[in-house]
Amino acid sequence: MSRINDSELPLSLLQFYSTAAYPCSYLSGEKAVSQVATPTHLISTEVYGDLVRRGFRRSGVFSYRPNCEECRACVPVRLPIQRFQPNRSQRRCLKEHGTLRARERPLMYVDEHYRLYLRYQAARHLGGGMDQDDHEQYSRFLLQSRVDTRLIEFTENGVLRMVSIIDVLNDGLSSVYTFYDPDVAGASFGTYNILWQIAQCAANDLPYLYLGYWIRDSHKMAYKTRFRPIEGLIDDEWREFEDSDLKVGQR
């Protein structure tokens, strides 16, 4: 386990405020409150890495973390790369998607990417609000960044299949958002993408892959715990989850 040491964090110039309550995106009928770090122009890649280790994420240029008074359901999670071993299903996924080709592209608007994003949202998150994003909302969400961000495009025989936005930190990669072709029967693009990011961490001697938040009772989050071992930030400590921690309904 590793404890957060505030004296090591170069955050003294930042200010933090809480948002008003808004509908929770993950738990139906619940309200959420976020803590936001400001001013955004002071959040460099180094500072953002410190924030991520404290449980923050970003949406565009805004860095935030859950700050709900009576709920602690959102748990930041990360994978310790050196200890990860793919299971049988994951090894099969790597083999089945071996024809995918990854290429880094400039962090800029591409209409083909945006159209794929809308298809993905309509198929996987219909009614969630993001399926109605116009190109400006899409750009603010994924293409605006003040940190070291990479846009990776995955193609298969020249056909766009997936786009992934990744932040490069000094101790790992932070997976910002991935969207993919929802119409390929039997595909496991999301799983492949995480395995690809793990491989990138290993190749660049980066010890962690940060996967954002995990919520035990959210089925949309369940895929994250299929990668083991996995660590969660609980009471300012990163610790490895036990099997019992990951069971739905356990508190």
Percentage, residues of the chain above pLDDT 90: 82
Quote the CA–CA distance of 179 and 160 in Å, as a whole number.
11
* Predicted local confidence at residue 219, as pLDDT: 84
**What mean pLDDT value characterizes the chain?**
92
**CA angle in degrees (0–180, nearest 5) for 189-194-196:** 90
Q: Over range 214-239, report the average pLDDT.
A: 94
Helix (H) or strand (E) segment spanning residue 43: none
* Predicted local confidence at residue 155, as pLDDT: 98
CA-based Rg of the chain, rounded to a whole angstrom?
18
Cβ(166)–Cβ(150) under 8 Å? yes
Query: Coil, strand or helix: which one is 33?
Result: coil
Quote the CA–CA distance of 108 and 111 in Å, as a whole number.
10
Residue pLDDT, tens place only, 176-197: 999 999 999 999 999 999 999 9
Residue pLDDT, tens place only, 135-156: 999 999 999 999 999 999 999 9
* Predicted local confidence at residue 251, as pLDDT: 40
* Predicted local confidence at residue 11, as pLDDT: 79
User: In the structure encoding, which two tokens stand for residue 113, read together?
Assistant: 């990417």
Cβ(12)–Cβ(53) under 8 Å? no
Q: What are phi and psi of 107, to 5 degrees?
A: -80, 80
**Residue whose tokens read 């930190």:** 169
Cβ(15)–Cβ(43) under 8 Å? no
Query: Coil, strand or helix: which one is 95?
Result: helix
* Predicted local confidence at residue 248, as pLDDT: 59
Q: What are phi and psi of 215, to 5 degrees?
A: -125, 120
Is the pLDDT at 207 greater than 80, yes or no?
yes
Quote the CA–CA distance of 6 and 116 in Å, as a whole number.
41
Beta-bridge partner residues of 8:
none
pTM of full prediction above 0.85: yes
Q: Over range 204-212, report the average pLDDT.
A: 98
* Predicted local confidence at residue 249, as pLDDT: 47
Quote the CA–CA distance of 71 and 65 in Å, as a whole number.
13
Peptide bond into 39 cis (omega under 30): yes
Residue pLDDT, tens place only, 81-139: 999 999 999 999 999 999 999 999 999 999 999 999 999 999 987 665 566 789 999 99
Residue 206's alpha-carbon distances to 149, 163, 198, 222, in angstroms, are 15, 22, 9, 24
Quote the CA–CA distance of 209 and 103 in Å, as a whole number.
19
Handedness of CA 215, 219, 221, 226 (dihedral sign): positive
